[in-house]
Amino acid sequence: MLIPLALALGIPLATHAVWRARYGYPPNHVPRVLCFHKLSRRFLFEGTWTTPARFAATIDRLRERGYTYIDEARYLAALEEPHADCSKQIFLTFDDGYAEVRDVAWPLLSERGIPFHVFLVTNYAGRENDWDLSLGRPRFRHLDWEAVREMSARGVTFGSHTASHADLTRAPRSRVQQDLERSRKAIEDATGKAARALSYPFGRYDDAAKEAARGAGFEAAFSLYPSHSNATTDRYALRREAVYIIDPVRLIETKLRPNPFYGLEEMKCRAINAVAVLTPILTARRRNTR
């Protein structure tokens, strides 16, 4: 009995200690950023999704808990003037830009007056996500340009999730630069507005990817859980909190404020995100064997 009890207590404590020494809490002068992917009413055999009902409940609960939602301009402005406590401000983002963002998230957020931001995979506008592993799962369709223009005209902001959703750490530098420039231009041509920010596919980046993002004209770039200490704010490796189907509504605030379980939650999410590296590897292998 003592050994299982010791393991039950020791492993979480050791994990938290490793996290505290390696990463620590993010600073309060930077707003928090939430990252969603798919919204689906049907069950999906994957992690990066949530139901519309749970999404709405999460948004409402956080507002009831005193959080406010800000747009891209206010988030980027906060990076320029890191003085006030912004820890209860949330910049709400969606990666990939699936059609469900327009059909499900947009009505929910519009009626609540909540701004949000979408990172688009521009080569896949209006197409299914065959860049992703299917594993027998249904394909999801990305927003088409008509929808992007409509949403942009009504205040939704858009950024780049690259043109091809390639892992930028595994691609030649010249290809990365072209990919980012092409994606940024496509968004700006469609919306008539600047594409100010980039989201790294799979949250993966390196120094070359950061330099390419800067060279392509982006003002900021987002990872999920950057490799540096959370105390550091790097405009080209910004932190976001991913929301998964295994996250109950009441757990989401654990991702946002210092608490006894913060480190355990972050290490859980880092482990989940680390598995994402398999997607481009296995996808490339599948294509090579065709």
Residue 142 DSSP one-character state: B
DSSP 170-203: SS-HHHHHHHHHHHHHHHHHHHSS---EEE-GGG
3-class secondary-structure state, position 50: strand
Q: Cα(74)–Cα(196) distance, rounded to whole angstroms?
A: 12
DSSP 212-277: HHHHTT-SEEE-SS-SS-TT---TTSB--EE--TT--GGGGGGGTS--TTHHHHHHHHHHHHHHTT
Q: List Cβ neighbours of 89 (8 Å cut-off, separation of 6 or more).
A: 31, 32, 67, 68, 69, 70, 74, 75, 78
Query: What angle in degrees, to the nearest 10, is found between the helix axes of 145-153 and 173-191?
Result: 60
User: What is the pLDDT, as a whole number, of residue 6?
Assistant: 42
Going from the N-terminus, what domains does the chain have, and what CATH number goes with each?
26-288 (3.20.20.370)
User: What is the pLDDT, as a whole number, of residue 284?
Assistant: 53
**Integer angstrom CA distances of residue 203 from 63, 128, 159, 207:** 27, 21, 15, 13
Q: Cα(283)–Cα(24) distance, rounded to whole angstroms?
A: 34
User: What is the pLDDT, as a whole number, of residue 289?
Assistant: 44
Where do we find the tokens 């530098």?
173
User: What is the pLDDT, as a whole number, of residue 64?
Assistant: 97
User: What is the pLDDT, as a whole number, of residue 280?
Assistant: 61
Q: Cα(81)–Cα(260) distance, rounded to whole angstroms?
A: 29
User: What is the pLDDT, as a whole number, of residue 7?
Assistant: 43
Residue-level pLDDT, tens digit, the chain, 290 residues: 445 544 444 566 677 677 778 888 899 999 999 999 999 998 888 889 999 999 999 999 999 999 999 999 999 999 998 778 999 999 999 999 999 999 999 999 999 999 999 999 999 999 999 888 766 677 899 999 999 999 999 999 999 999 999 999 998 888 999 999 999 999 999 999 999 999 999 999 999 999 999 999 999 999 999 999 999 999 999 999 999 999 999 999 999 998 888 888 888 888 888 877 766 655 554 444 44
User: What is the pLDDT, as a whole number, of residue 8?
Assistant: 45
Q: Cα(83)–Cα(32) distance, rounded to whole angstroms?
A: 15
3-class secondary-structure state, position 82: coil
Structure tokens at 118: 């979408």
User: What is the pLDDT, as a whole number, of residue 82?
Assistant: 75
Length of the chain: 290
